[in-house]
Amino acid sequence: MKATTKEQFEKWLRGVEDVDLEFKEAKNNFSKGRGSLNDYCAAIANGNGGKLILGIQEKPRIVQGTDWRKGTHTKLSHELWESLRIHIDVEEYFYEERRVLILHIPKHPVGIRVKSGGKADKYMYPIRRGESLGEMDDQKIREILNEGQADFTAGNVKGLLFDDLDKNAINVFRHKLAKKSGRKEYLNFDDRKILCNAGLIDSNGISFVALILLGKEDVLRKYLSDAEIIFEWRNNPQQTNYDFRKNWRAPFVSIDDEIWETINVRNLRMPFQEGFFQREIWAFDEKSIREALHNAVMHRDYSLKGRSIFIKASPQSFYIESPGGFFPPVTLDNYLQEKSWRNRLLAEALEKIGLVERSSQGLDDIFEQTIRDGKGVPDLFKTNSDAVRLCIPAQVRDKDFILYLERISNERQVHLSFEEICELEKIREGQKSIDAEFKEKFLRLGIVESIGKGRGTKYILSQKYYETIGKSSRHTRLKGLTRNQIKELILNHIKDGKECTVRNLMMGFPECKAKDLTNMLQELKRERKVHFEGKSNQKGFWKMIR
């Protein structure tokens, strides 16, 4: 363990308490309050590991130092090992002559939860939830246990014979492999050799990957009956009964195109005019739909029984459900940043024949294309430990946004990355946050503009955007009125002889706080334009000075 530097310590001090960073006062002892020392150490370990720093007053955050375990801190690491069975380095550190203890807590061993659970401990298997501790839930338990899970699809199928594989499917596989690799000699390989080269069979037998991609229907039913894909179409997404349904349990390489064609028959073309040119967007973008399907096949948990890949489509949306939640370390908070493969051999096989990207860029591509098509953002909000559920909008919500992105790229001669496009979509939707990494670039290019100052700063698409699409009034509403404009409107209101109270004004200016309106009235009073009549704010009102 390297000794902590002053720069690193001060960075931690400026940090936000979260799943990987915790401060405790512990001036003379460790307060057990909402959890013991074991609880906090186990909770941090059950996340991704982190730091527990003792000797810090939390509100306001001040380094006050600690006398706890003075002279005996070197024994603490061993004591924690005896309790938790993880090695935690305990560092005695002096900051401006004040002693603190830094506990460097590693991440839990792969596939193993760290148990607190002693008599003096509040939790059995604790985890952090923001600044608080809690008992580990089923989803987190499954995530950790899955970390040590072997690749199910890489295992061999006991009793499966080479004749159980579909010859036509093997031929499709051979041609796709030759095309993707650029090796025409693969076309002359016999069936067994081509599958050996692709790693789907070996001297010990035939893998589940070969069964999934190439197995005959009756063989799939016998050995892996849940390798099924169900499609339902509804003309109205709200109706209970489907208008069309089809099931596939067949070698996937043989049905991949058929599934897309079944969806595409119901595709809707949405034309729109751009100057003299007419463009079109389809409800179901082929690349996005195929990516969603391939991801579901590649990442589903084949060890789960009684579950199938389920597709529901309508003129409004495309929904696909893949059994098994995200595979760690992927979560609902990081699915566009983190990548992992539950079925690595299957992922490798699909990549070799050109159906997926091993870099797992498929979800990124789906999000980018959907936003570029003006349909909004796909969502996975129904995803949990049981299944990954992806919904892709099918209807164009904002055609003008499509043109705006293209004009920005052409006029400014800049390439907007996937992350930047996502950020612009958040701004278009009126979300308050904006990634600092993109803020300066957007402002410099004139893509967005800011409203307000300090922590209250908000960002909207630029005035030029709203002028271009003929909606300048919307820009005015989003940007809001200036302080002087609001004061002028207040005066106009009072000139009409109406009773004016702060409560009345709040109805007319809902975006303003009562305190701000009161301050503006006081400013008008100092300018000798209005005065207050009455003994109290509840019974009095403001009037114009004549």
Residue 99 is assigned to a structural domain of this protein: yes
Domain C-terminal end among 376, 393, 410: 393
Please check whether residue 210 is in contact with residue 200, taking contact to mean a CB–CB distance below 8 angstroms: yes
| Pair 434, 528 in one domain | no
Q: CA end-to-end span of the chain, whole Å?
A: 77
The tokens for 278 are 């007419």
Distance CA 2, CA 141 (A): 32
Percent of the chain whose predicted confidence (pLDDT) is above 90:
47
| Pair 23, 84 in one domain | yes
Helix (H) or strand (E) holding 404: helix 399-412
Domain C-terminal end among 457, 479, 501: 479
| Pair 344, 245 in one domain | yes
Distance CA 25, CA 274 (A): 63
pTM, rounded to two decimals: 0.63
pLDDT tens-digit profile of 275-322? 555 678 899 999 999 999 999 999 999 988 889 999 999 999 999 999
Q: How many domains does the chain have?
A: 5
Domain CATH for 283: 3.30.565.60
- Which residue reads 């058929």 in tokens? 258
Is the Cα dihedral 523, 546, 508, 484 positive or negative? negative
Which is it for strands 21-24 and 50-54: parallel, antiparallel or unpaired? Answer: parallel
Which is it for strands 89-95 and 50-54: parallel, antiparallel or unpaired? Answer: unpaired
| Pair 474, 508 in one domain | no
Q: What is the mean pLDDT of residues 252-271?
A: 94
| Pair 10, 69 in one domain | yes
Q: What is the mean pLDDT of residues 130-158?
A: 81
DSSP letter at 193? Answer: H
| Pair 265, 329 in one domain | yes
The three-state secondary structure class of 386 is coil
In terms of DSSP H, where are the helices of 5-133? 6-14, 37-45, 76-84
Return the HEC string of 470-504.
CCHHHHHHHHCCCHHHHHHHHHHHHHCCCCECHHH
Residue 381 is assigned to a structural domain of this protein: yes
Count Cβ neighbours within 10 Å for each residue of 116-139 and write b for 16 or more, e otherwise: bbeeebbbebbbbeeeebeebeee
Using N-to-C axis directions, what is the helix angle for 37-45 and 76-84, rounded to 10°? 70
Domain CATH for 129: 3.30.950.30
Distance CA 29, CA 25 (A): 9
| Pair 68, 89 in one domain | yes
Domain C-terminal end among 479, 502, 536: 479
| Residue 75: per-residue pLDDT | 94
Provide the phi-psi class of 294: left if phi over 0, else alpha when psi is between -120 and 50, else beta: alpha
| Residue 499: per-residue pLDDT | 67
| Pair 409, 384 in one domain | no
Distance CA 450, CA 424 (A): 13
| Residue 545: per-residue pLDDT | 80
| Pair 456, 437 in one domain | yes
Q: What is the mean pLDDT of residues 65-94?
A: 94
* CA-based nearest residue to 447, from 414, 480, 478, 470: 414
In terms of DSSP H, where are the helices of 208-251? 208-214, 217-223
Residue 345 is assigned to a structural domain of this protein: yes
**DSSP β-bridge partners for residue 23:** 53
Residue 1 is assigned to a structural domain of this protein: no
| Residue 453: per-residue pLDDT | 65
| Residue 361: per-residue pLDDT | 64
Length of the chain in residues, anyone?
546
pLDDT tens-digit profile of 91-130? 999 999 999 999 999 999 878 899 997 777 889 999 988 7
Domain CATH for 437: 1.10.10
Residue 29 is assigned to a structural domain of this protein: yes
| Residue 392: per-residue pLDDT | 96
Count Cβ neighbours within 10 Å for each residue of 41-58 and write b for 16 or more, e otherwise: bbbbbbbebbbbbbbbee
Residue 305 is assigned to a structural domain of this protein: yes
Residue 159 is assigned to a structural domain of this protein: yes
pLDDT tens-digit profile of 322-346? 998 888 778 787 777 777 888 989 9
- Please spell the DSSP secondary structure of 288-330, one letter per residue: HHHHHHHHHHHHS-TT-SS--EEEEE-SSEEEEEEEB-PPTT-
The tokens for 518 are 């009161």
Nearest-Å Rg of the Cα atoms of the chain is: 31
Distance CA 63, CA 35 (A): 22
What residue numbers bound the domain in which 438 lies?
401-479
| Pair 342, 195 in one domain | no
Domain CATH for 517: 1.10.10.10
| Pair 55, 90 in one domain | yes
Distance CA 198, CA 345 (A): 10
The CA-CA-CA angle for residues 363, 368, 369, to 5°, reads 100
- Which residue reads 């496009």 in tokens? 421
| Pair 19, 132 in one domain | yes
Amino acid at 397: R
The tokens for 106 are 């590693």
Residue 166 has pLDDT above 90, yes or no: yes
